[in-house]
């Protein structure tokens, strides 16, 4: 996400004085709630879904994730790259390519 978008998300919260409601637990709950709404877009079909609605719900998840990153003082690139390094170690290409097995079953 580019800096202008991050700044826009931050300004939206600041302008409304909503930071007081953004405890880490409230933000984590909000992420789960919005993720459930995203999942609802695919409830009865894997192929016939409303892309505009999917984009709206996905954006809600991303905004709350950015809010949580800010609240915890984390760096998105850092935490994603740390996790990717762990994933790459758990799922080496030579064992995982083309398989959906969990790492302990490869």
CA distance 106 to 24: 35
Residue 85: C-alpha distances to residues 7, 79, 80, 89, 102 (Å): 28, 10, 9, 6, 16
Residues 45 and 92 in one domain: no
CATH of the domain at 39: 1.10.287.1080
Give the pLDDT confidence of 3-14 residue by residue, as tens digits.
Answer: 999 999 999 999
Q: What is the pTM of this model?
A: 0.91
Residues 44 and 90 in one domain: no
Range of the domain at 85: 75-106
Residues 6 and 21 in one domain: yes
Give the pLDDT confidence of 59-84 residue by residue, as tens digits.
Answer: 999 999 999 999 999 999 999 999 99
pLDDT band at 35 (very low <50, low <70, confident <90, very high): very high
Residues 59 and 26 in one domain: yes
């Amino acid at each position: 996400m580019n800096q202008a978008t991050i700044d826009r998300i931050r300004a939206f919260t600041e302008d409304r004085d909503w930071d007081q409601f953004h405890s880490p637990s409230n933000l984590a709950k909000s992420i789960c709630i919005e993720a459930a709404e995203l999942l609802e877009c695919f409830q009865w079909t894997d192929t016939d879904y409303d892309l505009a609605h999917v984009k709206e719900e996905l954006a809600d998840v991303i905004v709350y994730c950015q809010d949580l990153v800010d609240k915890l003082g984390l760096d998105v690139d850092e935490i994603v790259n740390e996790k990717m390094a762990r994933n790459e170690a758990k799922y080496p290409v030579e064992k995982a390519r083309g398989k959906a097995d969990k790492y302990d079953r490869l």
